Amino acid sequence: MMRFADELADLGDFTFPRQGRHPSRRAEDGQAADRATSPPTWDPEKYTDEYKDNLMRVISAKVKGKRPKLIDDDHTPKQAEVVDLMARLRASLEGKKSAGSTRRSRRHLKRRKAARRPAAWRRLAVRRARGSGGS
């Protein structure tokens, strides 16, 4: 969670119990690697809590019966990358049509084979009934 400078406490004011075990060498190496690749340290003084300041200005202005003078930050809209979802949908559907046609042909072959099976079974049953066997 991000905190502003006035919300941070000095860690010297707190006491923490000591742990009996020390971290392993492997854990220390991993932590050192994390620190080496981590971004530069975060400076809370660089950021201000404009919401809190503006809220206090509104409250004090309402108490005095005046209009508040708010801190105005640059809130202009920024350009975002626009994705054409319809074009992507059409492209994905076109890709599925070609794949679906092979599926359809496979399905069609299975149906044709299934349609021929009963006739073959009937012929086999007739042969067995005549006593000529089937195999």
Its pTM stands at 0.28
The confidence band for 119, taking pLDDT boundaries of 50, 70 and 90, is confident
Q: Which two tokens stand for residue 31?
A: 């932590």
Q: Is 58 exposed, middle or buried (0-12, 13-18, 19+ CB in 10 A)?
A: middle
CB atoms closer than 10 angstroms to residue 32: 10
How far apart (Å, rounded) are the C-alpha atoms in residues 39 and 32? 13
Q: Is the pLDDT of residue 63 over 90?
A: yes
Going by pLDDT thresholds of 50, 70 and 90, the confidence category of residue 65 is: very high
Tokens representing 9?
């406490």
Q: What is the mean pLDDT of residues 114-134?
A: 71
Task: State the average pLDDT over residues 8-35.
Answer: 73
- C-beta separation of 43 from 4 below 8 A: no
Q: Sorting pLDDT into bands at 50, 70 and 90, what band is 98?
A: low
Tell me the C-alpha distance between 91 and 85, whole Å: 10
Q: Quick one: CA dihedral 108, 111, 112, 113, positive or negative? A: positive
